[in-house]
Structure 1
């Protein structure tokens, strides 16, 4: 059975001001779920790392250089199978996503999933009308506990993945919060970076 895609919505970005101060504001683009969810996009798949046998010489050379071929190739993971702590390699725009590249956080990546939480159901188990703002609020509130500074004072940006109407019907309630640096690949975790 084919899994349906989750929504990747509303990038909330911080803008750096003169004198090194940063200010952020929530996105105004999240008010109309139908508008933001209309563009459906399948993230392009990159080659999935496959297990291969290495000769002892290749293994020693890899260990000596501190690199691993398997660690450098992202694994394509379905959006419903992502977890807090996963680092992502695909730049994702607003819309529906099925798969994203996941890589070890020690390798260059475009974002890191730093928090996850469930959205409260609306009446009769329906998806709440406030899901976009609830998702944004939850991600902003968890930001300082992960990065070390409040989101409003950070030079970093956030976005999130949330249930789509289809995944909601399949009992998906989870929001996954993503931290990233605009236009720059990050190496290592941003946890405790105080940026």
Structure 2
């Protein structure tokens, strides 16, 4: 959607966040973009929920974890997170230029392979916000309907104009 001057209309939504995140920089940035933030003690630490899109994000800052990740309960926390949230995303925040970060990412991928968890490595708070908002916007109404309509139009256009499809239609008629 755009205005008369072709400026995009800012997207604003309601976000339910863990009460433990109240003073975090991510919350300040989301508030600055005028999203409505609701805090809940019943939401697990580090979790953001976007009710209109049905998505939930668990943010894990790898630099805050001790050397032995198995002792932190991280894997149990992720397991509980994906039990509760059907459309779940894990945002791993780290520079990802060291062996430790890549090993943790690999361990998580192996343990949760085949589950409904999607893993998104991010480097900083800006990436966290951008990743969450992009996914939440693309999966919320009416944006998801608009995206589906555009994909249908693109598909129809490809079928209508493609020489391969034209050849297949000709073969079928002949």
TM range (shorter): under 0.3
TM-score (norm 2): 0.25
**Bigger fraction of residues in strand:** 1
TM-score (norm 1): 0.23
